[in-house]
Amino acid sequence: SAEMLRGKRVIVTGASSGIGEQMAYHLARMEAHLLLTARTEAKLQKVVERCLELGAASARYVSGSMDSPTLPEEMLREAENTWGGLDMLILNHIGQSGFTYFSGDVGHVRKLMEINFVSYVALATAALPMLKESEGSIVVVSSIAGRIGGPFTAPYSATKFALDGFFSSLRQELIIDKVNVSITLCILGYINTESAVRAVSQVIPDTPAPKEECALEIIRGGALRRREVRYPPRAVSTMLLIRSLAPEFLDSIIRSSYHVENVRR
């Protein structure tokens, strides 16, 4: 129920648009305290204003790029100074990456790993002392591309596979040490965010799932301390089942379903 989040202190990254923005609005309606971050300050200001209108207990923001080595500490310092602690960290931001053939640009892979993976590790590491104290939660927004290597997403897919490996391993260590901090990994399919639709609508014929419902499922999974959230559940679970039973068959289904003639090299 919404009461589970009332008064909770929550950080949401990538909160100026898409799924992150929708999560901020859901949490505001649940009367949580919000600290939001993204690159674009003007957009963040508008989201914070809307969150306050919707009933957030409080709403603040810190703007900046996640490839900055100082931003994670700045975010957590703001949480500690403002709230004296933290209950939930939702890691949702991503860097820009095209839906196209891999060009051989290793520099792009390195930068994307810094934003999509290393900054997640840095934020979680900085947040752990406060989350241990509150027995809180880490929510990691990932992708079906972090479980299944489809075409045209090589750099992006690499970062999402890395998230799965790191946070699945960290979860084991926390359990061994009897630390009551939950880690929820969110495996998302095709969602109707502006950036996703713009990137893949000419190639993938599927109808994207609604970002508003996706955002709510992510929050629900984190609040209930679930190991994993799959959304849309049927599509993602079916693909993962086929991959475990017949991976080459799944690969051929993916290739044949794409309009590859629309992919720019």
Per-residue model confidence as pLDDT tens digits over 98-130: 899 999 999 999 999 999 999 999 999 999 999
**Distance separating alpha carbons of residues 167 and 150, to the nearest angstrom:** 22
pLDDT at 71: 92
Do 39 and 15 touch, CB atoms closer than 8 A? no
User: Does the domain spanning 2-262 belong to CATH 3.40.50.720?
Assistant: yes
Listing from the earlier edge strand, what are the strands of the sheet with 33-38? 58-63, 33-38, 9-13, 88-91, 137-143, 182-188, 228-231
- Angle, helix 41-54 to helix 18-29, in steps of 10 degrees: 30
- Structure pTM? 0.96
What are the CA-CA distances from residue 246 to residues 23, 37, 101, 239 (Å)? Answer: 35, 40, 25, 10
Domain ranges of the chain: 2-262
pLDDT at 230: 98
Residue 140: phi, psi to the nearest 5? Answer: -110, 115
Q: Is 63 exposed, middle or buried (0-12, 13-18, 19+ CB in 10 A)?
A: middle
**Distance separating alpha carbons of residues 221 and 86, to the nearest angstrom:** 18
Q: CB neighbours (10 Å) of residue 244?
A: 9
- CB < 8 Å & 24+ apart, contacts of 193-196: 193/17, 193/18, 193/19, 194/17, 194/18, 195/17, 195/18, 196/18
- Give alpha helix (H) positions in 135-193: 154-176
Using omega within 30 degrees of 0 as the cis cutoff, is the peptide bond preceding 247 cis? no
Q: What is the pLDDT along the chain (265 residues), one digit of tens a residue?
A: 778 999 999 999 999 999 999 999 999 999 999 999 999 999 999 999 999 999 999 999 999 999 898 999 999 999 999 999 999 999 999 998 989 999 999 999 999 999 999 999 999 999 999 999 999 999 999 999 999 999 999 999 999 999 999 999 999 999 999 999 999 999 999 999 999 999 899 999 999 999 999 999 999 999 999 999 999 999 999 999 999 999 999 999 999 999 999 998 8
Q: Tell me the β-bridge partners of 191.
A: 209
What residues act catalytically?
A: 156
State the number of CA atoms in the 13 A half-sphere of 162 facing the CB: 18
